[in-house]
Chain A
Amino acid sequence: MTTLDVLFGAVALITAASAVLAVTTQHLVHAALWLVVTLGTLAGCYLVLGAELVALVQLLVYVGAVVVLVLFALMLTRAPIGRSPEHSSSAAQQIASAVVGAGTTALLAAVLLPALGSKALPTRAGDTQGIATQLFSSWVWPFELLSLLLLVALIAAFAVSRMPTTPQERTAATLDERTPVTSDAGTRS
C-alpha cells in the first residue's frame, strides 16, 4: 500500500457510499445532494489519478451545472421536501433491481480485476499542456462536432419545452396554424 493507494481508497469509499445513498434515499432532494457528494469526490479521484484538467471540468460542469439542473427539475415538478415513501417502488422490484445492480458490479469486477487489477499505475503529473495540444490538433474535428451537438441540444430542449402537451394546447396550436389559411379576417383580433 502506497500513500496514493490510501488516499484513493479514502476518497473512493466516500464516493461509493454516497453513490449508494443517492440511489437509495427516500428524500428526493437528498438524492440530488448525495449526487453532489459523489461527483465532487469523483473529481478528487481524478486528482489522485493525476488528471487535474478532468477533475476541474468535472467540478465545473457536473457539480456546477448538471446538479443545478437536476435540482431545478425536482423543484419544478413539485418534489416533496420530506420523506416520500410513496415514490419508492415495491419491495419485489427493489430486490430485483438490487440483484441486477449487484450482478452488474460482479460482472464488471470479474472482467476488469483479473485482467488489470494486479497492475500498478505510475504516478506522474497531469499533462495539461499535452492534452491541450492534442485536443486542438488530433481531436479538433470531434471537438467542433461537440459544439454542434451542444447547439442541437439547446434548440431541442427549447423546442421540447414549448411543445403543446395538453389537448387544449394542441387544438389551440392547430387552430393557430390554420388561421391564416382559412380566414384572415377578424380571427386575429
Chain B
Amino acid sequence: MIHLWLPLTLVSVLAGAGTYGVIARRNAVLVLIGVELILNAANLLFVTMGSVQGDTLRTGQVLTLFLITIAAAEVGVALAVVLALFRSRGHIDLSEPGA
C-alpha cells in the first residue's frame, strides 16, 4: 500500500519548482529545464492515477510513454531554436531585448 498523498505532494512540488525555473531563469537552456520538470510532474500524476484507476486500457502508463516521446521531440526542436538564437545574437539571455 502506498498512501496517495506522497506522490501527489511530489507532483505539486515538481510543478512548483518547474514554474519557478521557467520564470526566474534568464538562460534559455535553464528555462527548458524548468519546462522538463513541469512535464515530469504531469508524468508522475499520470502514473499515479493510472495505478489507482486500474482501467483495462492502461491509460495512465501508455499516456506517460506518449508524453515522454513528445517531450523528447519538444526538447530537440527547442534546443535547435536556442542554438539558432545563439548564432544570431551571440548570447541566449532571455531578459535582454533582441537585435
Query: B43 contacts which chain A residues (CB < 8 A)?
Result: 42, 54, 58
Interface string of B26-61 (1 = CB under 8 A from A): 110110111011001001110110111000111001
Inter-chain contact A66/B64, CB cutoff 8 Å? no
Chain B residues touching A, range = 35 or more
* Chain B contact residues, CB within 8 Å of chain A: 1-21, 23-27, 29-30, 32-34, 36-37, 40, 43-45, 47-48, 50-52, 56-58, 61-62, 64-66, 68-77, 79-84, 86-88, 91-93, 95
Task: Encode contact with B along A136-178: 1 for CB under 8 Å, 0 otherwise.
Answer: 0011001100100110111011101101011000000000000
- Please, how many angstroms separate the alpha-carbon atoms of A49 and B60 in the complex? 12
Residues of A near any B CB (own CB < 8 A): 1-2, 4-5, 8-9, 12, 15-16, 19-20, 22-24, 28, 31-32, 35, 38-39, 42, 45-46, 48-51, 53-54, 57-58, 61-62, 65-66, 69-70, 72-74, 76-77, 79, 87-89, 93-94, 96-98, 100-106, 108-109, 112-113, 116-124, 127, 130-131, 134-135, 138-139, 142-143, 146, 149-150, 152-154, 156-158, 160-161, 163, 165-166
Cβ–Cβ < 8 Å partners of B68 in chain A: 54, 57-58, 61-62
A135 touching B62, Cβ below 8 Å? yes
Q: Identify whether the interface residues of B are mostly helix, strand, loop, or mixed.
A: helix
Nearest chain B CB to A125's CB is how many angstroms away? 11
Complexed CA–CA distance, A124 and B76 (Å): 35
Q: CB distance B1 to A102 under 8 Å?
A: no
Closest residue of chain B to A18 (Cβ to Cβ) is B17
Instruction: Give the residue of A24, A73, A106 whose beta carbon is less than 8 angstroms from that of B79.
Output: A73
Greatest chain B CB density within 10 A among A8, A42, A66, A152 is at A66
Contact between A127 and B87, CB atoms less than 8 A apart: no
Contact of B92 among A58, A77, A163 (CB under 8 A): A77
Q: Given the complex, which residues of B lie within 8 Å of A2, measured CB to CB? A: 1-3
Q: Are A104 and B15 in contact (CB under 8 A)?
A: yes
